[in-house]
Amino acid sequence: MRLVRLWFLADPWQDDEGGSVMTQIDCVLVEDQSMFVELLLPVLKRISGLNIAATAETGAEGIQHVIDLNPDLLILDLSLPDFSGINVAEALHNQSALARFIVLSGQATSFICPIHLRPMLHAVVDKNRAFDVLRDEIKSFIGDNSDVSSLPENLDVTDALTSRELEVLALVGQGCSNKTIAETLSVAVGTVEVHRRNMRSKLGISGSELIRYAVMYGHEH
């Protein structure tokens, strides 16, 4: 039985004594649709612990903000006027391995994260479901970095999960939506949701943690 290591990053918001030192999460939003930004900003500004340090409409502006501000979190559209938003994520990767990014895009269902960026990916959110889902993912990110995770460092998922759950896990790691996973496996969307719920329960992790583990699992396979 192959042991798959479940990786968890050390909490960058903990001091040497284990006490919390985080006051807020600095975030850069990169989105070229100004009307969408106007609708989204009030939602983001109401999230406790989140500071919108800057917004950008182009990839070049986004990269400059990343270099100047060294944000903790990047909310990123993939389709930008000058180049792909993934280039901004690359800049974040070069700036700080502890930072994270959330893909917010109409291309969410087809997005496949480059392998070297997968540890930094917190979530993939479809613009059509942006407001509630994005708010929940950001709250999850803030919560994940406010408390030390009690999850085990090693976990044999091949024992913990069924073969079908492992298939679902691999597809989640590829950024597939529940609908895409259902079509791929020829099952109902509700069945996929049950599998994801069961995996969270078996592994003792949240929805956002499941996504992060799924991309790492995909990297291992």
Strand, helix or coil for residue 20? strand
Nearest to 160 by CA among 198, 213, 211: 198
**Amino acid at residue number 92:** L
Q: Where are the domains of the chain?
A: 25-144, 157-220
CATH of domain 157-220: 1.10.10.10
d(CA 100, CA 121): 6
- The matching CATH number, chosen from 3.40.50.720, 3.40.50.10540, 3.40.50.2300, 3.40.640.10, for 25-144 is 3.40.50.2300
pLDDT tens digits in sequence order for the chain, 221 residues long:
233 333 333 343 344 444 444 458 899 999 998 878 888 888 888 888 889 999 999 999 999 999 999 999 999 998 899 999 999 999 999 988 789 998 887 776 677 888 888 889 888 887 766 666 677 777 777 765 544 344 444 556 777 889 999 999 888 877 777 888 899 999 998 999 899 889 888 887 777 677 767 766 654 55
What's the pLDDT at 139? Answer: 72
Rounded to 5 degrees, what angle do the CA atoms 64, 69, 73 make?
A: 100
Indicate yes or no: pTM above 0.75: no
What does the block give as tokens for 178? 């529940």
Q: Where are the alpha helices (DSSP H) in 32-129?
A: 34-45, 59-69, 86-95
What's the pLDDT at 129? Answer: 63
d(CA 87, CA 4): 30
What's the pLDDT at 23? Answer: 56
